[in-house]
Amino acid sequence: MIVCKFGGTSVADAGAIRRLIGILRARLPEQPVVVVSALAGVTDALLALADPVHAGDPELVDAGIDALVRRHETTARELPGGATALDAVRAEAAALRSALHSALGRRLRPAETDRLAGCGELWSTRLIAAALEGAGVPATWLDIRPIMVTDDRFGRATPYPQVLNTRARECLLPIAQTGRVPVSQGFIGATADGTPTTLGRGGSDFTAALLGAALSASRVELWTDVSGLMTADPRIVPSARTLAEASYEEAAELATFGARVLHPATAMPLVRAGIPIVVLNSRQPDRPGTTIEPSAELERMGDSPIRSISWKKGITVVNVRAPRMLGTYGFLRAMFEVFERHEVVVDVLASGEVSVSLTVEDRTRLDPVVRELSDLGEVWVEDHRAIVAVVGIGLRHTPGLAARIFRAVQPANVEVISQGASAINMTFVVREEDGPDVVRRLHAEFFGSC
Ligand code: ADP
Ligand code: ASP
Ligand code: MG
């Protein structure tokens, strides 16, 4: 059995869905279980409806939903059998409409936002299951929510592995074993009482990995719009090259620091069983892509010690300066307790003798953190920053590498430098507007032309 996940651009329109059908047809002997994202752009369009709801504008809400339904109708009509999905799509859209109308004039609650955000996956899977059937590939649509039971941290919910393992086997195996292709949603789940949740943006990769682990799949394929994990985001560095293989650790580092091609948690569920992840291009399905697995042979990219460079914008740096931390203990613990209490995730940390700098991505709960940190020392916050991560082999043991990196990024100002314990990454902070140029300069330095 294999798990095949198709991202938004791999199901963007009828042409993409035809390619998906071809890819799955070729894999039928391997019993594919299919995980699908929303059609490209649909999740953003759904989330954008929160504004007219808040503004109390029912016409704009209706127009937004109608446009999305029309897009699914157009796509469905171009696919044999696709139209059979439309009743279900329209019924879900009608339920969404009345839920949003009942919230007019106020901000959506987190649970309502998750219900809204997850509609795209419910629609896309209806369409794809119908299109597969229409093309003669027996397929069964399946609601993932009773399988993907999560906590109630809306927007970033965590699934309960025990429930997931049992239910995934109970619900999915019988379908796959009868030669049918189960088609289910990435990204979404539900609490034990059935309230819809989401696993965080880009979470379909994580869904696929969770199902892969639960079903002991022989591999998890992530079908996307690039030919694998690359030396940099090809949108920024057009000459970026594909890595033939990568380790879980390397992939997780790159994803954590902005390589959107993979959700940062994807490798986690697969580590114990050592199940490989293969990142593949749905437009060029015959390309080998990148295989991510524990025994990966990490080849050097030419003579470069660096394997890949990623960057992430929207970062805030929090600096704490406390002369009394010099020679005392318990200071870092006190500081991290503040972040923990407010559930603010810290990405990068750099510490000197009397000061600590750390980065956070989610600024929404930062104000109370800053207030409490002020009891420990002088605090200042810098917004609009980006993290750049350089991932390579044995970086810590490569003499002169740091100097080479920082020479290459000049004249950009480098602010927080951190080298992880793993010896595979070096991260630093730059101003957001400098991010793309810094990535391009580093790529040119370590991989040649841009
Ligand atoms: P999907 O909808 O298939 O999940 P995403 O848009 O989430 O696709 O992720 C694919 C995108 O990730 C690519 O189009 C590319 O621009 C971006 N990306 C960023 N960093 C990298 C990288 N190192 N390698 C490959 N793609 C990357
Ligand atoms: N559709 C969701 C998103 O846009 C999940 C995903 O694509 O993985 O974030
Ligand atoms: Mg994605």
% of the chain exceeding 70 in pLDDT? 96
Q: Is 233 in the pocket of ligand 1 (CB under 6 A)?
A: yes
Q: Which residues contact 270 (CB under 8 A, 6 or more apart)?
A: 209, 212, 213, 220, 248, 276, 277
What is the CA 122 to chain-centroid distance, rounded?
A: 18
3-state secondary structure (DSSP) of residue 303? coil
Cα separation of 204 and 217, whole Å?
16
State the chain's maximal CA–CA distance in angstroms: 72
> How do residues 36-70 score in pLDDT, each as one tens digit?
999 999 999 999 999 999 999 999 999 999 999 99
* pLDDT of 273 higher than 90: yes
Task: Note the helical H segments in 265-350.
Answer: 331-341
pLDDT at 120: 98
**Would the CA dihedral through 197, 199, 205, 209 be positive or negative?**
negative
| Cα Rg, the chain, nearest whole Å | 23
406 — pLDDT class (breaks 50, 70, 90): confident
Q: Is 120 in the pocket of ligand 1 (CB under 6 A)?
A: no
Could you say which ligand is closest to the alpha carbon of residue 189?
A: 2
Higher pLDDT residue, 363 or 160? Answer: 160
What is the CA(220)–ligand 1 centre distance, in A?
17
pLDDT at 449: 66
Q: Is 308 in the pocket of ligand 1 (CB under 6 A)?
A: yes
Structure tokens at 202: 């880009």
pLDDT at 301: 67
Cα separation of 84 and 194, whole Å?
26
Per DSSP bridges, beta strands 355-360 and 417-419 are unpaired
3-state secondary structure (DSSP) of residue 450? coil
410 — pLDDT class (breaks 50, 70, 90): confident
Least confident of 79-93, 112-126, 175-189, 345-359: 345-359
Q: Which atom of ligand 1 is nearest to the CA of 223?
A: 3
Cα separation of 30 and 212, whole Å?
13
Residue whose Cα lies nearest atom 9 of ligand 1: it is 261
* pLDDT of 298 higher than 80: no
- Out of 226, 256, 257, 308, mutate this one to test ligand 1's pocket (max ligand atoms within 8 Å of CB): namely 226
> How do residues 89-141 score in pLDDT, each as one tens digit?
999 999 999 999 999 999 999 999 999 999 999 999 999 999 999 999 999 99
3-state secondary structure (DSSP) of residue 70? helix
- Give mean pLDDT, residues 428-439: 95
Average pLDDT score over the chain? 93
DSSP character at residue 242: B
Q: Is 238 in the pocket of ligand 1 (CB under 6 A)?
A: no
Q: Is 153 in the pocket of ligand 2 (CB under 6 A)?
A: no
Q: What CA–CA distances, in Å, run from 224 to 12, 18, 40, 288?
A: 11, 15, 11, 13
Q: What CA–CA distances, in Å, run from 207 to 32, 265, 272, 274?
A: 15, 10, 16, 17
Q: Is 230 in the pocket of ligand 1 (CB under 6 A)?
A: yes
Q: Is 7 in the pocket of ligand 1 (CB under 6 A)?
A: yes
pLDDT at 166: 97
% of the chain exceeding 90 in pLDDT? 79
Higher pLDDT residue, 73 or 425? Answer: 73
Could you say which ligand is closest to the alpha carbon of residue 123?
A: 2
Q: Is 225 in the pocket of ligand 1 (CB under 6 A)?
A: yes
pLDDT at 222: 98
**What are the φ/ψ torsions at residue 95 (nearest 5 degrees)?**
-65, -40
